[in-house]
Structure 1
């Protein structure tokens, strides 16, 4: 594997969180989790590389073999001369670590893929909880347990019924990399090409590491996703089977949403899944971060419970791609028709597909600009706005009701004054009267000279150009 593919990218906030816990003057017990391939192990290894640590990555084996494997790592770390090469039980192993921990240097203990440890020994959380209460919590130690099974980590380890509940001093859910961090995997190229990659491979480090910048975008799709036997061809199936039962029902729901069914009744009409059971399946997918329910940005949280205006959307680029271009054509792809799917289906619909991700990236850009104080307001809420007749791609407002209205255009023509005027007309339709209004336009292909001149005259207009190699704010 090349050096490029092994490199560590981004994760500044995550590393700062872990470092802050490490430098504290007390014992720390951290739960770090996130879905498969998201880069948890790489993150932890980057964090501990210059620290006194034990790193154990569990696998799906019997409890006795698991104990033996971790015993060897612990004994080798301390270069301990003991009579046995394996501790008698987990309590003995944890007690040995406690006895070896010194007060002037923090010790980091990592148990990666912790659910595999618990799988064949349900008592491990209780043993660890008891040892934390009586020993670890009084030492200069940092324990990190990590897992990829989202349902297990959230519904078991972090639930009130689990013995470890209330013992943790930090819980961190690792999410996808943002667009700017992801670009490091894509080699040289312009924003448009990189956004194509990001829309498909999303911000999952493992997926991104598969990209070969020397190949074209379409060849990368064919080699890594569309060909039977390629690395990601069965990825979604594995992910769903790891987390869920009745995978066929979940497949039907995700495909329905991917193809544009955003309301509960629309999904029911497409899937014919029992109405009483459908909300359970959807909520499970929301918990896993596969889909989300989105409300118009001006609807208050209390009102969301009463209103039925929320819409369902897929919350991950790779899932959207799979259910748009792989799952519906699975039989054809299994027969080797990748070129036909690329040339006759993906090429025709790719512009529209990427435009959805472009809106998401643009919203994140506005959020980042607000945090960095590069906008005239500091938004407390950012999202989309819509009513029965129209929608605004980006709506952001601050605590004083100053608003930013935004439009995103991922198309092969420059954005002109007409788009700005249309945005201003739509902004008059929102339920709240802004104290002051600002406008921001995002474009794949740049802006007309007339609109650029307009932005120079009006201090409430911002233009963000994605037609070059770097994002340009005009």
Structure 2
């Protein structure tokens, strides 16, 4: 189900600003597949004189025939374009009006021919007076970051802007869906805000929609994770095992290595690669040094926990074990994605001045079996906010107990000279009005919808 264009205000403002300039401007746009790059470019290019070329994973000759056809349609004359210098030179001779040239999925060309970047750089250098905006877009994140942003790249330093398109935030789902906050938490927890994935949900009965979209061998979301990883990585089985290990709570290097039957020094290159792709991240506790690894993308987190272990069974049309696991454990799984939503809520509340102080640092803390979900600090003013996040329904009695526990843990932090505040963010919190910093889904929805009084 296609829905309206949501968010991307910042990206559009950057692009419109560059469109308003004279001469040749050059923009790099990249991000993982399905994140909405092409939709962003389509929205931006409306009403402009544009040549929109979407390359395919085919030889150079095929793609330059595609360029020739698109340019011929644009200028009304049949032309043959052999390379980028010829393209830019031809457009400079034929028109004075500003042109938007979009080279989408350019990473396919880089894969086929590494020298294509030198050719593009030469075209830019020789045609600086071309009145055009050239946008290069691609989805192979590791390839693009390696080839475009290293110092020795022929294209390095030539771009007017580099835009990495990220998934939507939780707050944007309130624009996308007509559904309550609890359903949106479930949707966000399995899609991570990737626009393409959101299109498969309505928010009426999310758990049934999850079953249909993840435990059906013909469904897009069932196969998507493997397809994405296969494009970027070799040794796919090793990466899948690592992701399953982390999704099941094995977050330290030793635990991950043991789960994968590998040594710690063997596992590190794989962890670095997954980190570069933005699928996992290393998290270090505040006031600590030894970190853990977690899956940063909710889609991969859910898929690795509930789909990957049963992939062959689901593919063979025996999804019963996977569905049983999902039914039994999905509610507890939601706790981790909800922590991310809680952090987003606090950042938004901080930005709007709704907290006792403005924090400048946000993180987690753990030490010897003790843990605090969120620690917000203003180190200059020596103020701290300690927050427990609970995806559950809390009574007033339970709220008081959690707050007492936070007070006890605060002593372990060593913030003796700090002004310390304590808070809770829960699914539902009974009698929350009696507490200064206790929030639940009603507050989250109110803030995300712009009702700050909530």
Answer yes or no: same fold by TM over 0.5. yes
Contact 1:56–1:73 (8 Å) recurs in 2: yes
Unmatched runs of 5 consecutive residues or more in structure 2: 448-452
CA contact (8 A) 1:394 1:405 kept: yes
SS state of the match for residue 429, structure 1?
A: helix
For residues 170 and 446 of structure 2, the distance between their equivalents in structure 1, rounded to whole angstroms, comes to: 11
Stretch deviating more after TM superposition (237-246 or 433-442): 433-442
Question: Which of 352, 369, 373 pairs up with 1:389?
Answer: 369
1:322-361 matches, cutoff 5 A = 322-342=303-323, 344-361=324-341
Quickly say closer, same or farther: Cα 1:174–1:347, change in 2 above 3 A: same
With 115-124 and 349-358 compared, the bigger mean Cα shift is at 115-124
What are the residue-to-residue correspondences of 1:8-407 with 2, within 5 Å?
8-24=5-21, 27-79=24-76, 81=77, 84-100=78-94, 102=96, 106-136=98-128, 138-185=129-176, 187-214=177-204, 216-299=205-288, 307=289, 309-342=290-323, 344-398=324-378, 399-407=380-388
1:187-242 Cα deviation digits (max 9, x unpaired) = 4332111111110122110000011345x223212222111111111111111110
8 Å Cα contact 1:256/1:271 also seen in 2? yes
Contact 1:189 1:469 in 2 (8 A): no
Cα distance 1:383–1:50, how it changes in 2: closer, same or farther (>3 A)? farther
**2:389 maps to 1:408:** yes
Answer yes or no: is the 8 Å Cα contact 1:190–1:468 preserved in 2: no
Deviation (angstroms), 1:100? 4.0
Matched, 1:470 2:430: no
Check conservation: 1:27, 1:142, Cα contact below 8 A: yes
TM superposition shift of 1:26: 5.9
Deviation string, structure 1 residues 15-59 (Cα, Å, up to 9, x no partner): 222223333456422111111111111111111113232211111
Deviates more, 1:321-330 or 1:154-163: 154-163
Indicate the larger mover: 122-131 or 312-321. Answer: 122-131
How much does 1:346 deviate? Answer: 1.2
Contact 1:29–1:144 (CA under 8 A) maintained in structure 2? yes
Q: Distance in 2 between matches of 1:24 and 1:400?
A: 43
Provide the rounded CA distance (Å) in 2 between the counterparts of 1:440 and 1:100.
Answer: 64
Q: Distance in 2 between matches of 1:129 and 1:89?
A: 12
Taking structure 1 as reference, are residues 447 and 130 closer, same or farther at Cα in structure 2, changes over 3 Å only?
same
Task: Name the TM-score, length of structure 2 as normaliser.
Answer: 0.92
Separation in 2, partners of 1:400, 1:9 = 37
Range that drifts further, 369-378 or 258-267: 369-378
C-alpha change, 1:372 and 1:20, in structure 2 (3 Å) is farther
* Range with greater deviation from structure 2 (357-366 or 407-416): 407-416
SS at match of 1:194: helix
| SS in structure 2 of the partner of residue 50 of structure 1 | coil
Label 1:403 to 1:19 Cα distance change in 2 as closer, same or farther (>3 A): farther
Counterparts of 2:84 and 2:124 in 1: how far apart (Å)? 13
**1:437 aligned residue (420, 426, 434):** 420
State the 1:319 CA deviation: 0.7
| Inter-CA distance 275–213: structure 2 relative to 1 (3 Å threshold) | closer
Post-superposition shift, 1:363?
0.7
Q: Compared with structure 1, are the counterparts of its residues 67 and 200 closer, same or farther at alpha carbon in structure 2 (3 Å cutoff)? A: same
Partner SS, residue 237 of structure 2:
helix
The 8 Å contact of residues 182 and 205 in structure 1, kept in 2 or not, is answered as no
Q: Would the alpha carbon gap of residues 17 and 376 (structure 1) be closer, same or farther in structure 2, given more than 3 Å must change?
A: farther
Alpha-carbon contact 1:351-1:411 (below 8 Å) kept: no
Alignment match of 1:447 (pick from 427, 430, 434): 430
Q: Unmatched 5+ residue regions in structure 1?
A: 300-306, 456-460
Shift of 1:86: 1.6
Task: Using the TM superposition, name which of 68-77 and 18-27 deviates more.
Answer: 18-27
Partner of 2:334: helix, strand, or coil? helix
Contact 1:33/1:172 (<8 A) preserved? yes
Give 4+ residue runs of structure 1 displaced > 4 Å after superposition.
none
Quote the offset at 1:72 in angstroms: 1.6
Q: Is the 8 A contact 1:409 1:442 kept in 2?
A: yes
- Contact 1:297-1:384 within 8 A present in 2 as well: yes
Instruction: Specify whether residues 331 and 139 from structure 1 end up closer, same or farther in structure 2 by C-alpha distance, changes over 3 A only.
Output: closer
Contact kept? 2:216, 2:222, Cα under 8 Å:
yes
Mapped to 1, the partners of 2:357 and 2:326 lie a distance apart of 39
